[in-house]
């Protein structure tokens, strides 16, 4: 029976699965326990938009490393196709792809994670999953095949999520470069009338429900 396609929920554990990659077999998510993981799918090897994305991920590998984060690519192409494509990128563009790429040729993981849009055939959409060190899905982003991702935004979202985990604060639009409060964090809203009254008129509050503070 064909596996049911479905959208994963934030906070769910990433499904356990053995996969084949350009760096050998991997067991998900166990092989990445203790690290953050960015799993991203691409529609197909030897395609222009996907090539630009792989180059961008590869060029920022050090920044992901500094955030204790591993990169893992995926498409429904076979592993040997991934190998030939990454060899082409190194030879023609001078960029070595330093992360493994899953050959999900049967679509098992792609279907389970909602990466395949039926109207687009069997190719994967451009999905991104950020998985925490415990193996939980914390961010899911889906793009159509025709639009390339911005890897710097994935890095920004990862940094923001890790800062939230450490500081237990909310973070504004485009943090740390927000138009209103720059790199400051948002304090949780007041939960009592007394606390709300204390916050009114404070320099770091627009109102009792919208206060902010500097991070350490």
pTM: 0.91
Residue 35 pLDDT class (50, 70, 90 cuts):
very high
The predicted model gives 21-39 an average pLDDT of: 97
The answer as to whether 163 is a domain residue is no
Cα-trace Rg, the chain: 20
Statement: residue 6 has pLDDT above 90: no
Q: How far apart are CA 125 and CA 147, in angstroms?
A: 10
Please give the torsion angle defined by the CA atoms of residues 112, 113, 119 and 125, in that order, rounded to the nearest 10 degrees. Answer: -140
Query: Do residue 113 and residue 64 come from a single domain?
Result: yes
Please say whether the beta carbons of 63 and 156 come within 8 A.
no
Query: Do residue 27 and residue 119 come from a single domain?
Result: yes
Query: Do residue 61 and residue 111 come from a single domain?
Result: yes
pLDDT tens-digit readout, 129-188: 999 999 999 999 999 888 999 999 999 999 999 999 999 899 999 999 999 999 999 998
The answer as to whether 84 is a domain residue is yes
Query: Do residue 137 and residue 206 come from a single domain?
Result: no
Looking at 117, 148, 179, the residue that finishes a domain is 148
pLDDT tens-digit readout, 192-208: 999 999 998 899 999 99
Active site residues: 50
Query: Do residue 49 and residue 137 come from a single domain?
Result: yes
Domain containing 205 equals: 169-216
The answer as to whether 195 is a domain residue is yes
Residue 25 pLDDT class (50, 70, 90 cuts):
very high
Statement: residue 4 has pLDDT above 50: no
Query: Do residue 91 and residue 132 come from a single domain?
Result: yes
The answer as to whether 153 is a domain residue is no
The answer as to whether 139 is a domain residue is yes
The predicted model gives 17-42 an average pLDDT of: 97
The answer as to whether 5 is a domain residue is no
Query: Do residue 91 and residue 194 come from a single domain?
Result: no
Overall number of domains in the chain: 2
Query: For residue 203, what is the domain's CATH number?
Result: 3.30.1020.10
Which of 7-11, 18-22, 140-144, 158-162 is the least confident region? 7-11
Looking at 148, 180, 207, the residue that finishes a domain is 148
- The three-state secondary structure class of 206 is strand
Query: For residue 68, what is the domain's CATH number?
Result: 3.40.30.10
Statement: residue 120 has pLDDT above 70: no
The answer as to whether 3 is a domain residue is no
pLDDT tens-digit readout, 48-95: 999 999 999 999 999 999 999 999 999 999 999 999 999 999 999 999
Residues in the chain, how many?
Answer: 216
The answer as to whether 155 is a domain residue is no
Residue 29 pLDDT class (50, 70, 90 cuts):
very high
- 62: which residues sit within 8 A by CB, 6+ positions away? none
Q: How far apart are CA 9 and CA 152, in angstroms?
A: 24
Buried b (16+ CB within 10 A) or exposed e, 1-35: eeeeeeebeeeeebeebebbbbeeebebbebbeee
């Amino acid at each position: 029976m064909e596996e049911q396609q479905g959208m994963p929920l934030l906070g769910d554990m990433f499904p356990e699965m053995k996969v084949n990659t350009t760096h050998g077999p991997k067991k998900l998510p166990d092989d990445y326990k203790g690290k953050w993981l960015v799993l991203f799918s691409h529609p197909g090897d030897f395609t222009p938009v996907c090539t630009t994305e792989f180059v961008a991920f590869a060029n920022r590998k050090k920044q992901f490393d500094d955030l204790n984060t591993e990169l893992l690519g995926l498409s429904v192409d076979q592993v040997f196709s991934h190998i030939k494509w990454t060899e082409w990128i190194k030879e023609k563009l001078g960029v070595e792809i330093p992360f493994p790429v899953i050959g999900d040729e049967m679509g098992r993981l792609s279907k389970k994670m909602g990466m395949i849009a039926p109207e687009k055939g069997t190719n994967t959409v451009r999905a991104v999953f950020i998985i925490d060190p415990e193996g939980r899905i914390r961010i899911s982003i889906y793009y159509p095949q025709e639009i390339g991702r911005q890897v710097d935004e994935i890095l920004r979202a990862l940094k923001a999520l890790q800062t939230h985990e450490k500081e237990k604060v909310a973070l504004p639009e485009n943090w740390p470069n927000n138009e209103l409060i720059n790199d400051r964090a948002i304090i949780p809203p007041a939960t009592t009338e007394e606390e709300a009254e204390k916050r009114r008129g404070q320099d770091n509050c627009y109102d009792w429900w919208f206060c902010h503070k500097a991070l350490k």
